[in-house]
Structure 1
Amino acid sequence: MDRISNLPDDIIHHIGSFLSAKEAAFATLLSKRWRNLFTIIPKLHFDGSIKTNSFKEFVDGVLALPVSSRVGTFSLKCKHVPQYEDLINRCLRHILNRGVLVLELHNHIKLARKGHRYSLPLDVFTCKTVTTLKLGSGFVVELLPAHVSLPSLKSLFLDSVRFHGSDGRFCSFKTLLSHSPVLEELVMDGIEFERWKWCSIVSSKTLEKLTIRRREWYSYEEPIVDDPRGLAYEFDNISFDTPALTYLEYSDFVPKEYLIVNLDSLVEAKLNLCVYEEGLWQHEHGDTFNPMNLIYGLKNVEILNLTEEVVEMFYFLNKSIPMFEKVSQLSVDLSSRCWFSLTIVMKKLPNLKTLIIEELHVGDELVCDCLSEYSFLLSCSVEVLKINTYEGSLNDLEQIKHFLGKLSCLELVEVRTQAGSSDARLQIMADLLMLPRASSKCKIQVRFCPKRY
């Protein structure tokens, strides 16, 4: 008997994970024991050109899998060309019928003729076993099968995927979410909602984690290049009906209105929202954009992460912004903005305990002049202050001096710096430790991080 056959089952499984689909299929013919072990194939992965013999061999291997075989993860990453659609779809259908758990499809669309679109096999949306589905990039989902159902799907990742197909009664995106009864996580990267034709609602009773990230920050009022009409799509409203959501990361333009906002379980929110046009704040043009329903929907949030645009939004909407009684941790990025907006945000967080400033350094000029000696800090109950980027300049030191000298409840200051030489590190430590402190309990910790080039 060969040496491999004497190994424990888990080791043979590990060895089998390095085999191609074709090799794994042939290995099942060597012995009855291998046939039983390889009925579960941990991972099948292809990443390359589909115009090569290796892709055909990969597909041949997949199609050769025994009927009883099961696939843990199937990953197909390639540059799509139309003449290979049938081959790709045959491969996918075969995998979907093998009880796949994790399905990853990243086909970078290369159009052979204008207007051609690659449509996913509808079987993708009726798979009973898939728990994680990753789709990208360039897919357009227009139709779903009448019997759409993903009963095991817990995680859905969409990268530059568009949903079309909404006639007022049927919406492919809403239908997909509603037929994923155990969905817990939804990640949408490179999403441009204004290009979708949908019902403008993210709705799920089970969703716990939602991530929406925009990559392209062009003005959506300008014509969209690949729109055959040369017109921009409407971006009137978005709704979030996600009562079980606990985490929201949301990076996008602000629509004209948020019609429905159900975020009652939300604990943590990370917001990067933009309502700019040619450098002007949109409120100057009337009520063109109204984020207030979303802001009111954050009433139960405990951890808040705001970019400089959102901090400035709070400043302009000051009188309308409610008090956030439950927020205990705030993280802000003010690397290129006046710090006066921070005073407005801080006044809305009466129970803030941890303040995280992503970057303290804002240039050569002091930011103290507009803050009236940082008097707003006197009423703050902040206990922990974290500075994630500290360069050790006189301006940086002056700012920290105000925080330490006015935050009477402060217990810990954690500073991260990329100072290189030992002399620079010693100087930073000495400067910080010499600062007067309003709190006798305040301790200072300096963490030296490697320089990034």
Structure 2
Amino acid sequence: MGRISDLPNELICHIGSFLSAKEAALTMVLSKRWRNLFTIIQKLHFDDDDDEGSGSFDVFVDGVLALPVSSRVKEFSLRLKNAHYDCINSCLCNVLKRGVLVLNLCIQVADQGGYSLPLEVFNCKTVAKMSLEHGFVIDLLPVDAFLPALKTLFLDNVRFYDFGGRCAFKTLLAASPVLEELCIYGIELERWKWSCSVSSPTLQCLTIKRRQWTHYNEDNGLDTRGLAYDFDSISLDLPGLTYLEYSDYVPKEYIIVNLSSLVEAKLHLCVDEDRTWDNRDANDFNPMNLINGFKNVQILDVSHEVMEMLYVFQEVIPLFEKLVHITVSFSNCWFSLPVLIEKSPNLNTLVINNFLHYPRQGDRLVCQCVSDYSFLLSCPVKILEITKYRGTRGELEQMKHFLEKLLCLERVVVHAWVRGEAKMKLEADFQMLPKASSKCKIEYY
């Protein structure tokens, strides 16, 4: 202990950051100097997968409660599978009074009703980053809910409800006046009871990501017939948003879409199995407000389902004048590519994020939908990237059209899915292809 006391204050503080709550409390009793140095605890962490023996969480809680009143905690992390809620809440409320900046909670519960957070969580004046995972049900926020420092919010498998006419999700956003990043994972919006509106004037980054592509019904559980109740519309009123990653089923309509500052978007949007993109008249399906919301986007990454949507609505989709970089995927047909190319007059980089050609059908080497490739002649693309290239005859035929017709092409990046002699043959085949642009260089990976 004497040797440690001789160390500089900064190093002692660093050592103290690795102590558990109980160890920190005992250490501060031993030394007046350490008591002053350990008033700021860098991180308190408990994970019941790492701690063995019954009562280990109770010991952790006792250590937290034993900390001096003057102690501050920068980061608090709690991962639990089973524990008494009263014990969790007493520990959590104690930490919230200690100026916590980062709050990570992962509490899995068997109870279908979920675990309700203490209302003090939504009145913490210091927390800047909050992560809530697994099993939380948020149905009620205090009337005076206020999170003035919260900039980043991660929600994983969290459900919101409308309690007494007050939408908990809407209240949470309104109580976070400086929120910049919102991530919603394991999303099942159709199970929420909410205002169907994501609205924030300060939000810059939004991730909505679905993991399980199944549908739920509140009465019957899994429902394979279609989306459940209260999923007819969504509004996205986010004037400051610059980044959007959106992976989910889409509702019938987007009532309000305000994405005027959007720079980059990554989209994987599907209709449920009772609908298709081209039967919109029968189902009153209209995603046009959403499509128009991307008219200012500069970087776009879209799944093959979104490409199909753009093709179906090609007559009314806007001109993407600011779009310079696009990543596209296809299922087995390229019919939607000309539509997007022609709507992107300033496109610089085109990334094809799958195989360049699928196994031939009959005598066809290329997709008949784009067999003349005339749309490429006016395409300004300078960089072409293929993420999966096997060197088949069909792929080589596709590449021949790209190289012959892209007049501005300067760089081709090929990620080969073959090695050894097969890759050497692939490179040799490329060298034989004619190029419309004398500046074109090919890179292999």
Aligned to 2:19: 19
Matched AA of 2:347 = L
Alignment partners' CA distance in 1, 2:79 and 2:270: 33
Q: 2:343 aligns with which of 333, 344, 348?
A: 348
Q: 1:207 aligns with which of 203, 206, 209?
A: 203
Alignment partners' CA distance in 1, 2:194 and 2:347: 39
Q: 1:179 aligns with which of 129, 150, 175?
A: 175
Aligned to 2:427: 429
Q: CA 1:87/1:283 → structure 2, altered by over 3 Å: closer, same or farther?
A: same
SS in 2 for 1:29: helix
Q: Is the 8 A contact 1:201 1:240 kept in 2?
A: yes
The residue correspondences of 1:208-357 to structure 2 (distance < 5 A) are 208-219=204-215, 224-225=220-221, 232-277=228-273, 280-281=276-277, 283=279, 286-334=282-330, 336-357=331-352
- Do residues 363 (structure 1) and 365 (structure 2) align? no
Alignment partners' CA distance in 2, 1:418 and 1:226: 39
Alignment partners' CA distance in 2, 1:256 and 1:166: 25
Q: Is the 8 A contact 1:413 1:443 kept in 2?
A: yes
SS in 1 for 2:104: strand
Alignment gaps of 5+ in structure 1 = 448-453
Q: Is the 8 A contact 2:157 2:187 kept in 1?
A: yes
SS in 1 for 2:141: coil
Matched AA of 2:430 = L
The residue correspondences of 1:397-412 to structure 2 (distance < 5 A) are 397-412=396-411
Q: CA 1:287/1:226 → structure 2, altered by over 3 Å: closer, same or farther?
A: closer
Q: CA 1:401/1:362 → structure 2, altered by over 3 Å: closer, same or farther?
A: closer
SS in 1 for 2:373: helix
Deviation at 1:339, TM superposition (A): 0.8
Alignment partners' CA distance in 1, 2:399 and 2:218: 43
Matched AA of 1:54 = S
Q: CA 1:150/1:418 → structure 2, altered by over 3 Å: closer, same or farther?
A: same
SS in 2 for 1:110: coil
Q: CA 1:197/1:222 → structure 2, altered by over 3 Å: closer, same or farther?
A: closer
Q: Is the 8 A contact 1:4 1:12 kept in 2?
A: yes
SS in 2 for 1:379: coil
Deviation at 1:370, TM superposition (A): 2.6
Q: CA 1:224/1:391 → structure 2, altered by over 3 Å: closer, same or farther?
A: farther
Alignment partners' CA distance in 2, 1:418 and 1:382: 24
Deviation at 1:182, TM superposition (A): 0.8
- Do residues 135 (structure 1) and 117 (structure 2) align? no
Q: Is the 8 A contact 2:233 2:251 kept in 1?
A: yes
Q: Is the 8 A contact 2:160 2:194 kept in 1?
A: yes
Deviation at 1:385, TM superposition (A): 0.7
Aligned to 1:147: 144
Q: Is the 8 A contact 2:263 2:297 kept in 1?
A: yes
- Do residues 380 (structure 1) and 382 (structure 2) align? no
Q: Is the 8 A contact 1:238 1:255 kept in 2?
A: yes
Alignment partners' CA distance in 1, 2:229 and 2:102: 34
Deviation at 1:410, TM superposition (A): 0.5
Deviation at 1:6, TM superposition (A): 2.1
Q: Is the 8 A contact 1:224 1:232 kept in 2?
A: no
Taking structure 1 as the reference length, what is the TM-score of the superposition?
Answer: 0.91
Which runs of structure 1 show a deviation greater than 6 angstroms over 4 or more consecutive aligned residues? none
Q: CA 1:307/1:223 → structure 2, altered by over 3 Å: closer, same or farther?
A: farther
Q: Is the 8 A contact 2:187 2:210 kept in 1?
A: yes
State percent identity of aligned pairs: 58
Deviation at 1:306, TM superposition (A): 0.6
Aligned to 2:441: 443
Alignment partners' CA distance in 2, 1:368 and 1:143: 54
Aligned to 1:118: 115
* Number of positions where the alignment pairs a residue of Structure 1 with one of Structure 2: 436
Q: RMSD of the alignment, in Å?
A: 2.1
Q: Deviations over 1:117-164 (max 9, x none)?
A: 321000110001000000011111010012100000000000011110
Deviates more, 1:400-409 or 1:410-419: 410-419
SS in 2 for 1:138: coil
Q: CA 1:60/1:411 → structure 2, altered by over 3 Å: closer, same or farther?
A: same
Q: Is the 8 A contact 1:361 1:390 kept in 2?
A: yes
Matched AA of 2:90 = R
SS in 2 for 1:318: coil
The residue correspondences of 1:389-400 to structure 2 (distance < 5 A) are 389-400=388-399
Q: CA 1:8/1:400 → structure 2, altered by over 3 Å: closer, same or farther?
A: farther
Deviates more, 1:214-223 or 1:322-331: 214-223
Deviation at 1:37, TM superposition (A): 1.8
Alignment partners' CA distance in 2, 1:7 and 1:437: 67
SS in 2 for 1:55: helix
Deviates more, 1:42-51 or 1:246-255: 42-51
Alignment partners' CA distance in 2, 1:333 and 1:88: 46
Alignment partners' CA distance in 1, 2:222 and 2:317: 39
Deviates more, 1:49-58 or 1:198-207: 49-58
Deviation at 1:220, TM superposition (A): 5.5
Alignment partners' CA distance in 1, 2:86 and 2:306: 47
- Do residues 193 (structure 1) and 189 (structure 2) align? yes
Aligned to 1:450: none
